[in-house]
Amino acid sequence: MLKFDSVDEGFEYRIEFDTFQHLNTAATLNGAGAVHFSGAEAKVFDAQGQLLFSFTRETRYTDTGATNAASKEIVKRLMRWRKEQHRQKQSK
């Protein structure tokens, strides 16, 4: 189980998260005007500051959609990473 709390110290993971907009060039070239897509970027670090993983989710219609896609990916990757850490501890 994962539980997320906003803290400044005593954390297991640090997550840097940002949303952004990018221009849909194809739609703009086809005369649709300036059409933008939303994206999200995440970087996840362990308590010692080592990067565990990073990724970008792009081409979502809204910031909410980009945030949702990124949050699901963060949870999926953290669960996989924790399982691997548990296996490594068991094998020692």
Residue 72 lies in a domain: yes
Quote the percentage of the chain above a pLDDT of 90: 41
Q: How far apart are CA 35 and CA 54, in angstroms?
A: 27
Residue 76 lies in a domain: yes
At residue 2, the pLDDT reads 73
Residue 43 lies in a domain: yes
Residue 4: count other Cβ atoms within 10 Å of its Cβ: 12
Range(s) of the domain holding residue 55 = 13-91
**Number of residues that make up the chain:** 92
Q: At which residue do the structure tokens 């933008």 appear?
A: 36
pLDDT at 33 over 80: no
Residue 2 lies in a domain: no
Residue 37 lies in a domain: yes
At residue 31, the pLDDT reads 64
At residue 10, the pLDDT reads 83
pLDDT band for position 16 (cuts 50, 70, 90): very high
Domain tally, the chain: 1
Quote the percentage of the chain above a pLDDT of 70: 86
Q: Note the pTM of the prediction, 2 decimals.
A: 0.76
